[in-house]
C-alpha cells in the first residue's frame, strides 16, 4: 500500500499537482524539490525540508498532473517499512527506502534524509504509523 493518511488533523489539501516525466502509483510519496516547479517521486535521497504529498491517483510519464494529498506534517500516516516494526522504534526518525517504503533500521536517524517519524506499529508488523516530515520547500544550507 505504501503511504496512506489514516487520520487528518487539518483540512484536506487534495488537488492536481504538476509533474513532468514521472510514473506515479496510488499511495506513492511525492516531493516538491527546493526551487522546483514540478513534483517528483521520493527516493532514498529525499530530504526533510521539501514539501511532501501522497498520490491519490496514478500518472504515466506523459501526464502533466497527478491527483495528490499535499501533507502538512500533522497527518497520521501508515507507511510500509523495510524491516519489522517494534515499539522501541517509536520516536525514531527514518530515511526512505523508496517512494513507497520507510527504511526502519531500529535507530534514530539524524540525517537530513530522515523523512518519517514513527509513532506506533501499524496494521501489521511491516507497517509503521507516524508522521511524514514536511518542510517549507527551502534549501537547507545550515551546517
Give the tens place of pLDDT for each residue, 53-97: 999 999 999 999 999 999 999 999 999 999 999 999 999 999 999
Residues 24 and 48 in one domain: yes
Average pLDDT over residues 28-44: 95
Residues 42 and 91 in one domain: no
Residue 137 lies in a domain: no
Answering whether pTM is above 0.85, one says yes
Residues 61 and 87 in one domain: no
Percent helix, percent strand, percent coil in the chain, to nearest 5: 0, 40, 55
pLDDT single digits (tens) 89-134: 999 999 999 999 999 999 999 999 999 999 999 999 999 999 999 9
Out of 20, 50, 70, a domain closes at 70
Residues 107 and 58 in one domain: no
Residues 60 and 80 in one domain: no
Range of the structural domain that residue 113 is part of:
76-132
> In this structure, are strands 14-18 and 51-55 parallel, antiparallel, or unpaired?
unpaired
- Write the CATH number for 65: 2.40.300.10
How many domains does one find in the chain?
2
Largest CA distance in the chain: 43
Amino acid at each position: 500500500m505504501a503511504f496512506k493518511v489514516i487520520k487528518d488533523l487539518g483540512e484536506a489539501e487534495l488537488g492536481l499537482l504538476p509533474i513532468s516525466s514521472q510514473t506515479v502509483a496510488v499511495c506513492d510519496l511525492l516531493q516538491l524539490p527546493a526551487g522546483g516547479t514540478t513534483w517528483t517521486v521520493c527516493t532514498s535521497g529525499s530530504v526533510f525540508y521539501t514539501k511532501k504529498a501522497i498520490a491519490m491517483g496514478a500518472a504515466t510519464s506523459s501526464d502533466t498532473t497527478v491527483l495528490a494529498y499535499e501533507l502538512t506534517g500533522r497527518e497520521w500516516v501508515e507507511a510500509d517499512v523495510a524491516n519489522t516494526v517494534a515499539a522501541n522504534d517509536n520516536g525514531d526518525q527514518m530515511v526512505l527506502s523508496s517512494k513507497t517504503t520507510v527504511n526502519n533500521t531500529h535507530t534514530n536517524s539524524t540525517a537530513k534524509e530522515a523523512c518519517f517519524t514513527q509513532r506506533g506499529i501499524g496494521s501489521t508488523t511491516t507497517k509503521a504509523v507516524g508522521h511524514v516530515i514536511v518542510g517549507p520547500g527551502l534549501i537547507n544550507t545550515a551546517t
